[in-house]
Amino acid sequence: MKKLIYMDNAATTPVKSEVLEEMLPYFSEMYGNPSSIYSLGSHSKVAVEEAREKIGKAIGANPKEIFFTAGGSEADNWALKGIAYRNRDKGNHIITTKIEHHGVLHTCEYLEKQGFEVTYLDVDEYGIIDLNQLKKSITDETILISIMFANNEIGTIQPIKEIGEIAKEKNIYFHTDAVQAIGHINIDVEELNIDLLSMAAHKFYGPKGIGALYIRRGVKIDPLISGGAQERNRRAGTENVPGIVGMGKAIELAYENLDENNRKLIKLRDSLIKKIFDNIDHVKLNGHPTKRLPGNVNLSFEFIEGESLLLSLDMEGIAASSGSACTSGTLDPSHVLLAIGLPHEIAHGSLRLSLGDFNTEDEVDFVVEKLVEIVARLRAMSPLYERVKEEK
């Protein structure tokens, strides 16, 4: 097999070796159930609590406000359903955006069927919400504002601090899906007035199937999963001890080297964008030029199908995405690209290259070289492109 060039770090990341090393003993040596009272169990319990501390520290929260889940989707489901059901007596209105991850969007659609009302805020051409529209959408019935920290497709970062201030002033809970932001951006839940925050370890070099929901002390929320008394009666089920240990190590590593890593990533990202623009015409950058995730590049190539582009890149050993892992399974263009106003045909020609800690400038050069070839070959088959060329 050809050497793989992995530029799909927004879909998932590899587990770093330091993370794996910390996890390994918890599979078959330290396998005790954290709820058991003998020493083998209490070793696991200690490991879980150490990880909880690391995660709390990373976002400025008390460890008691961190609750482990089986990933980002569960955290999103819990935040929305848990708040909605528990606060039904206060109101039935939720505000979110049109560009949320399906973990939030589909949960909102489910809640609508249960009688809740949901406002889906528009975004501008860069994918940023309008704070005035947010303020105007608030009613006496509003119990929750759920707005993602950074978008998984186009990388746009929302004005979270301003949203937090609005929510706090109106006494409305503020949840943010920070799955793309945690481990990549400095986040302080106090400074930002965040009440609930979703995260997933596999987006920052931890294992899959483990995540957490930060729940501010005093927030009234129902459990999503009932059963045993784990997670202080809020999330039943024997803890995923190796996963939790891995998540703790991964978040610690991410914030230890954050500034240096981000400087490197932004340099690589901007170099990739520049080289593509220098060598390919009829291409557009989606998302905000600066308010974007350090590793995110999202482009639309006119006269091209994103799917064909992905397949051709795969043949060169390059892993990328045409929007999001979830949308590439369907024929509909991504809801995010439509929400920023792209016409269907332009949205269809989109490509997401998401860079991570293991990418290099050599890889960037290789990807640009291959993209130039592939785009030229695919466009040669497009009658529309031929006509545009002749008209020039």
Ligand X SMILES: *Cc1c(COP(=O)(O)O)cnc(C)c1O
Stretch that binds ligand X, among 132-140, 174-182, 279-287, 330-338 (CB under 6 A): 174-182
Stretch that binds ligand X, among 67-75, 114-122, 284-292, 307-315 (CB under 6 A): 67-75
| 73 binding ligand X? (CB under 6 A) | yes
* Residue among 71 and 82 whose Cβ is closer to ligand X: 71
| 97 binding ligand X? (CB under 6 A) | no
Tokens 């997933």 belong to residue? 200
* Residue among 81 and 101 whose Cβ is closer to ligand X: 101
Minimum Å gap between C-beta 198 and ligand X is 7
Angle between helices 361-380 and 383-391 (to 10 degrees): 90
Please give the residue whose beta carbon sits closest to ligand X in the complex. Answer: 72
Annotation marks residue 326 as catalytic: yes
| 206 binding ligand X? (CB under 6 A) | no
Minimum Å gap between C-beta 344 and ligand X is 23
* Residue among 296 and 312 whose Cβ is closer to ligand X: 296
* Residue among 93 and 202 whose Cβ is closer to ligand X: 202
x-or-dash string of contact with ligand X, 137-166, rule CB under 6 A: -----------x---x--------------
x-or-dash string of contact with ligand X, 295-334, rule CB under 6 A: ----------------------------------------
| 211 binding ligand X? (CB under 6 A) | yes
The residue from 32, 34, 56, 71 that contacts ligand X (CB under 6 A) is: 71
Minimum Å gap between C-beta 176 and ligand X is 10
Report the distance separating Cα 161 and Cα 326, nearest Å: 29
| 72 binding ligand X? (CB under 6 A) | yes
The CA distances from residue 340 to 107, 156, 253, 302, in Å, are 22, 11, 34, 16
* Residue among 177 and 195 whose Cβ is closer to ligand X: 177
Binding residues for ligand X restricted to 175-194, rule: CB under 6 A? 177, 179-180
- Compute how many residues bind ligand X; rule: CB under 6 A: 15
Catalytic residue among 131, 166, 325, 326: 326
| Of 293, 287, 385, nearest in space to 336 by CA | 287
Give the residues lining the site for ligand X (CB under 6 A).
Answer: 71-73, 76, 101, 103, 148, 152, 177, 179-180, 200, 202-203, 211
Annotated catalytic residues are: 326
